[in-house]
Structure 1
Amino acid sequence: MFDYESLRVIWWVLIGVLCIGFAITDGFDMGVGMLSPFIGKTDSERRVMINAIAPHWDGNQVWLITAGGALFAAWPLVYATVFSGFYVALILALASLWLRPLGFDYRSKLPNSQWRNLWDKAIFVGSFVPPIIFGIAFGNLMQGIPFELNEFMVPTYQGSFFELLNPFALLCGGVSLLMILTQGATFLQMKTTAAIHARTRNIAVISAILMAILFVIAGFAAQGINGYVITSQVLPNAASDPLTKEVARQMSGLFTNYHNHPVLWIAPILAVVMPLLTAICSRADRSGFAFLFSSLTAVGVILTFGFATFPFFVPSSLEPNASLTIWDSSSSKYTLHLITIVAFVMVPVILAYTSWCYYKMFGRLDTKYIEDNKTSLY
């Protein structure tokens, strides 16, 4: 049905789609979780915020699980390298994600305020840590990570956890955090009323503007980073073998694709313009448009990363020739062909029932609804 080159491109695109889906859907979950201890001034207000995402939060995490599974199936060497190199960071992210379901499920089991405040903190941590970790991870992937491959194609990470916390990566973590915070604030604008609605509107305006500013700063900082460029012949249909190419590091190499294909600038333009439109619409109390533009912000940010690093998945700062690209680190053609058929069938089904669930469960919540149904809600 498809040649090897096309299959590799298809799965590069699908991984991007899954990352975007996670940022948009689980993004507003985490944004709400970060805001709940601060925006909710009373227990009822916090329950309004938590129950605004109650029908969707667990389903939204499927995007992350699917992205991990897809990476393992389509790009096993990338999966092995990233999950071993970022092991401590990813464990921190996963451990914090465990706190969210615990907080949601146990928070309202007892009426004691100390009990509920404890689980509110757990929800906050479970929502605050992952966006920063993921942003830092993407920041390090743009710079390259110190790993090497032996003759058996076994990756060995030579860095440490604290080396991941470099200035540019932390800057990317800040962009990710503000992007998710804005996503949660705009979602709450659509789902709440009265005081909560007003507070989240103000938060959305501030966080969206700060996110745009931080993204621009990160763009200027990226000009001083040595990017990676393949200098040898590229064989998109060849069997996977990362050690058959030559790679050079070049100043401003992250902008090579943008210089060669100016149309790609649409991605960073989206990432700057959309948060400004989010702020304008939030200020004007057009919550639906604010959420739409916030979601498009996530699209712009993730596409900016993808276009900047293509065709690299995991560049190696230690041994550039061993960098993993979409052309030389994928599964076999047969494997990609098989999982492509599955994806073409299942992805539309997932999108269809997810859209139906959002449509059927959409509506605004207030404290009266919480009080009337306090024994059956989070």
Structure 2
Amino acid sequence: MAIDVGGTSRAPTIHEVARRAGVSHQTVSRYLRDMGPFKPATTERVEKAIRELNYRPNMIARSMRTRRTGVLAVILPSQLDAMPTPTLAGAAKAAHAAGCFMEISVVDGTAQDRAARAIELLESGRVEGVLSLSALPGLTDRPKGPGTAALTVLDQYDDDLRGIGPLADASVMADIVRSLAELGHRKFLHIAGPQDWASARARRRVFEETVAELGLVCGGVVGGGWGPEVGYAAVSDLDAASGVTAVVAANDYVAMGAMRAAHERGWRVPQDLSVTGWDDLGTGRYATPSLSTVSVDRQGQGRQAMSRLIALVRDEAPPVVSPEANQLILRESSGPVPPSGSAWRGDT
């Protein structure tokens, strides 16, 4: 609640909480700073007064007394249409579990601009730690020190919030090709993502290398986008006599577009054409058929990065558990190669 004074409202004070609870304001202050112990009855009265008045502590004043704010900031480039939601969700969960608040600072401009903003936050006294998801020139991980907050640089996104480093690891692409080869497939089509993305380039490169290494046949590399329309167009344009029996798509959206085009052409998945994606989207799990894909633990990346930051803030040992590596998940959309010589293709 707000206190109405002369037609205007203001936030309740610690003294008003104390009066309602029947204790001194020093007791309320000690309670808010977790400086007990307190009698159960006292705790109950103070908590009830705080709830009834909807009291919110003055974080700035509290931080001046305790040198702690409980606030952790995440710095992002200003590409809001590419917001890495799973990574941020993992970071937020780790912050919440540690009893901290997480705020997001979106910075326009270059990496140097982000570094300058990071320094402002580190020296502001308002936050205890800063996590950057992309590189900050001249700055690296550092613990909390006199007059400065702790810093963790994840450096897994570029200036346009496109995944790099571990998020661009494409080694599982080799597992996809090998698994399909073991099912009898010999001719593959890769529907690639946009080649200005490191992850898309890496997936194409590993695809081509593995096909060549295993003596398989590349039936083409097409596409160049992340949307379902890219996969739909690629399979719609695929020659029925091409001999391609396996489509390896750059992500799940592309794969689902490819499956839709196959359905419209009368090609059964996986009996006539196997399709795999990447990212393990929830929609792919419930598609008909369910989509073979690669699980990427982006939440784990964010959770680990925030846990590293919290360890630096608290001068604790860093976490030793790493996020789960990318994993191939084979579902209903991939199966054995069609019987040799069968008239399995034909547009309806």
**Could you tell me the TM-score, scaled by structure 1's length?**
0.24
| Rg larger for | 2
**Structure of higher RCO (CA pairs closer than 8 Å, 6+ residues apart):** 1
Which has a greater percent of helix? 1
**Could you tell me the TM-score, scaled by structure 2's length?**
0.26
Which has a greater percent of strand? 2
